[in-house]
Amino acid sequence: MQKLSDNLKFKYTWRIYQQKFLDGFQEHIKDEHLHVIAPPGSGKTILGLEILKRIGKPTLVLSPTLTIRNQWRSRLLEFFTVNGEFDAYSLDIKSPDQITFSTYQSLFSFSKSFGENAKEQLLAYIKEHQIETLVLDEAHHLKNEWWYCLFHLKAIEGLTVVSLTATPPYDSTGTEINRYFSLCGPIDDEIAVPDLIKNGNLCPHQDFIYFSKPEAAQIKYIVSYREQILNFTNKLLANTALQEKLITQDFYVNPKKSLDYIYQYPSFFSSIIIYLNSCGYAVNENNLKILGFVNNDVTFPSFTYEWSEVLLQHLLVDQREYFIAFEDILLPLEKELKRIGVLDNKRVNCVGDEGLYRNLSNSPSKLESIFKIVEHTNVSLQEGARTVILTDFIRKEFLNFEGNDTKTINKLGVVPIFKYILAKQPTNSSLAVLTGSLVIVHENALSHLKEILAIVQLGVEPIEGSAGYIFIPVPDALKNKIAEAITQLFKIGIMTTLIGTKAFLGEGWDAPCINTLILASYVGSFVSSNQMRGRAIRVDADNPDKTGAIWHLACLDPTAINGGKDMEKLQQRFEAFNGVSMRDEIYISNGIDRLVLPEEWSETLDLATINKDMLSSAQQKNVFRDRWAAAIAKGNVLVRELKIPYTNETSFARTKKLNALNAGKYVMLEVVLGVSFFIPEFLLKNFGAVLNKGVVQVIYIFCAALILGFGPKTFKALKLYFLFGNQYKKTKKIGTAILHYLIDEKNLNFESNNAKIVAEQNLKGTFSIYLQDASQHDCNIFISLLEEVIAPIDNPRYLLVNVNFIKRKLGIKNYYVVPKDIGKNKTEALRFKEYWNKHVDGSKILFTRTVKGRKELLKARFSHLKYQFEEVSKKAITWK
């Protein structure tokens, strides 16, 4: 068997950031795991080949598509072999070699071919062929059944797993994210976009958003949908039959006898109490005690749509059999919810169903947004414009559209976009459509196309209502050649706006000349769209001054103050990549905050002005080039940090977003200010009493007035202080405990022995905490543990509980989580407690899997309800 390190050698010189990564390779691979984020343009495939060469063992490389699989082979032969002489590779998983390039689908199909005992036979096959390294390229959003094969392979003892991705699936559900990181492991290293721009491997770029409002029909649909849910909720609150059934249930009447059930479904139990409270029922004191409240010291939250979902999901779906006696009441509720679209596929969703989300995401109002961006780009860049519009569907049914009445173009897709732009600009001859089954060009481009293809005749058909444009039927044999030819024509400017599908252009297609990308895609993951985004920010050898503009489209829900589902999805997507801030302070970070958007999206907001500003900013190429340069100069590494913002409100009663850990300070401030105003006023009003009754009696009156006037607020301030303390100092202490534990116990493969905690607080009060002098892997471990400790409590095995004499008298306890990776067993949990007691406070450890423990866990989970606080800490990636 040929030795990989003897037969493969990288022919060129490594870029600075690539060499920096390779210098730390041996440390990363110690635990037989390597998870690397490498943005498009960073040479991810070449680095992957160098990694498997250095590991030096028979390797299976899995890719998402055949195109990318073939790229691995071509990069191997082009960059690592002399005259392509290395032949110890295979493209067929059924005939593996030292390096086997395959796809996830091929692996799944191959495993199915074994029939019975497929898992055991697949593992035996891998061992038989001595495959000891598994490379996962872009292992995100795979079909569910494909995951099983990968987890089976990962179970092989001694197998080294290398995961390479340009974009982790941050925009996915929590389940998908957890599954991804369970397979790929924590991120070990990341090649930073600022380094790529600094080294000239990516061009300066900026993300923009063009906003639109739904069409009148869509608004009517949304408003009607919301009204139906509101009417249903009002009827639910008036449903005395349901209420009378609930108040007779054993777990409600005698909660102490139903602790196992209540602790198994604590959210459902809470939803019943909140529902009945909203219906006017006095809540049983025993029920409050179960939730951790004493002396009715609780301000109940409203019966919101979220609580309604919890209640109905449990009654109608999850525990329907348990509530069989409710059937005469539940059946009408079920029918009504299905009728209005709230109950679908065994899921109750009162906030907005998938149909509502798609209705907005696919809004025809986005057609106007696309046209405005294209029009503005053409005016701004003229012949230099190279715009690609990426969408999901072709929608050939719109090919027969004629005229300029765009109201009938009511869907988003390749053909609707093409027809809409032409309806607005009938003389535009610079458009082209490129998909796997549909190719449209202007007749002016036909001769150039024939020349590149070296053919005399090419079958074409005219397009109705699109003067000058022709449809090219593409035989399978010519599909790739025509795609390459149109890409060349796009490059030289025969056409300047290319409209295509995500499926055809999203991965594998390359055109570095792109300088404007419009992402009109919403189906599936944003990851594949981000592959396309990467192509728009690559440098262009023929245009050294290139800058990239990436446009995202958002259709705002006029009934939602946060902008609705479309905006929410966009915010998630922005977590997946870094960029430079658009205005004000110059910095590089992930997230949508860097665009400085309005905090609330009211109906009166002037979207036209926001869009005009976005278009104007997109023109200012030198500005975002200079901002990138200034921001890059301010740092040298991407840092994973935990950000804890708060609103600077002095009145606690008026704020709902004030962070819990600083609340005591503001209430105490209110007390101090109140007393300072009260004393002079009291003395002036009672000056005569001092002369008549004497100083001592007046002091008694003064003290009584203070207690009556400010006693409750003082008590509340003290309670908040002892419950939460000072957030900034407390979080630093918690971070210190975690860091010392990781360094001293050598747990979780933490290697950064010289790491230091850095906490920064800006003038607005927001602070961030991160590690300095630590690897990306160790920073990820630290931040994940810290976030888990201070996040809302879910279902940990161990809790840290702090209570002293004063807190006991105030009836409060502090609860913090022992992170799951530390709390896997009692020994480690107790070791962590020692560091906690040394650096934070004198807490006791509590195992939550006992009756007593589950009772305390329930109190911990719901203690925040009485203060109505909102956790707002979140991970961020910032260039520092």
Residues 339, 345, 348, 354, CA torsion sign: negative
Distance CA 142, CA 514 (A): 28
Class of domain 205-215+363-636: alpha beta
What pLDDT sits at residue 355?
Answer: 66
Confidence bin at 763 (pLDDT 50/70/90): low
Distance CA 776, CA 789 (A): 20
What pLDDT sits at residue 659?
Answer: 39
What pLDDT sits at residue 718?
Answer: 47
| Residues contacting residue 184 through CB under 8 Å, at least 6 positions apart | 33, 35, 136, 139, 161, 163, 165
3-state secondary structure 239-276: CHHHHHHHCCCHHHHCHHHHHHHHHHCHHHHHHHHHHH
Residues 585, 589, 591, 592, CA torsion sign: positive
* pLDDT (mean) for 441-464: 89
What pLDDT sits at residue 69?
Answer: 92
Whether residue 750 contacts residue 778, with contact meaning beta carbons closer than 8 Å, is answered with yes
SS3 (DSSP) at 207: strand
Indicate if the pLDDT at residue 301 is higher than 80: no
Tokens of 598: 């309005």
**What are the tens digits of pLDDT across the range 512-563?**
999 999 999 875 445 555 677 887 899 999 999 999 999 999 999 888 888 9
- Most confident of the following: 147-156, 296-305, 482-491: 482-491
Whether residue 59 contacts residue 131, with contact meaning beta carbons closer than 8 Å, is answered with yes
Q: Which residue has the tokens 């404007």?
A: 516
**What are the tens digits of pLDDT across the range 799-844?**
998 876 555 555 567 788 999 999 989 999 999 999 999 999 889 9
The candidate with the shortest Cα–Cα distance to 490, out of 501, 502, 500, is 500
Burial annotation 756-765 (CB, 10 A radius, 16+ → b, else e): ebbbeeeeee
Tokens of 193: 């976009």
Write the DSSP assignment of 10-46 as a string of letters: --SPPPHHHHHHHHTHHHHGGGSEEEEE--TTS-HHH
Burial of 414 (0-12, 13-18, 19+ CB in 10 A): buried
**What are the tens digits of pLDDT across the range 765-802?**
678 899 999 988 889 889 989 988 888 787 899 999 88
Q: Which of the pair, 531 or 855, is modelled with greater confidence?
A: 855
Averaged pLDDT score across all residues of the chain: 84
What pLDDT sits at residue 280?
Answer: 92
Whether residue 750 contacts residue 188, with contact meaning beta carbons closer than 8 Å, is answered with no
What pLDDT sits at residue 701?
Answer: 53
Sheet holding 516-520, edge to edge: 205-212, 548-555, 516-520, 387-391, 497-501, 431-434, 439-442, 469-471, 461-462
**What are the tens digits of pLDDT across the range 82-141?**
776 788 999 999 999 999 999 999 999 999 999 888 889 999 999 999 999 999 998 876
Indicate if the pLDDT at residue 656 is higher than 80: no
Whether residue 118 contacts residue 111, with contact meaning beta carbons closer than 8 Å, is answered with yes
66-79 vs 44-55: helix crossing angle, rounded to 10: 70
3-state secondary structure 788-815: HHHCCCCCCCEEEEECCHHHHHHCCCEE
What pLDDT sits at residue 508?
Answer: 59
Pairing, β 638-644 against β 767-772: antiparallel
Indicate if the pLDDT at residue 586 is higher than 70: yes
354-361 vs 216-237: helix crossing angle, rounded to 10: 160
- Give the count of beta carbons closer than 10 Å to the beta carbon of residue 605: 16
Distance CA 538, CA 44 (A): 14
Distance CA 104, CA 255 (A): 51
Please name the amino acid found at residue 664. Answer: G
Phi/psi for 482 (5° steps) reads -65, -40
Partners of 498 in the beta sheet?
388, 432
What pLDDT sits at residue 174?
Answer: 67
Partners of 553 in the beta sheet?
210
* pLDDT (mean) for 412-434: 95
Distance CA 296, CA 312 (A): 26
Distance CA 698, CA 683 (A): 9
Tokens of 222: 């949304």
Whether residue 759 contacts residue 728, with contact meaning beta carbons closer than 8 Å, is answered with yes
Class of domain 4-191: alpha beta
Indicate if the pLDDT at residue 24 is higher than 90: no
User: Which region among 28-37, 417-426, 526-535 has the lowest average model confidence (pLDDT)?
Assistant: 526-535
What pLDDT sits at residue 805?
Answer: 53
Distance CA 696, CA 681 (A): 18
Whether residue 606 contacts residue 613, with contact meaning beta carbons closer than 8 Å, is answered with no
**What are the tens digits of pLDDT across the range 685-743?**
555 555 555 555 556 555 654 455 544 544 444 444 444 456 778 889 999 999 999 99
What pLDDT sits at residue 794?
Answer: 79
The candidate with the shortest Cα–Cα distance to 769, out of 729, 808, 803, is 729
* pLDDT (mean) for 377-389: 95
Q: Which of the pair, 283 or 357, is modelled with greater confidence?
A: 283
Whether residue 85 contacts residue 76, with contact meaning beta carbons closer than 8 Å, is answered with no
What pLDDT sits at residue 68?
Answer: 86
**What are the tens digits of pLDDT across the range 37-64?**
998 888 899 999 999 999 999 999 999 8
SS3 (DSSP) at 753: coil
Distances (CA, A) of 245 to 249, 253, 305, 321: 7, 11, 21, 15
What pLDDT sits at residue 715?
Answer: 46
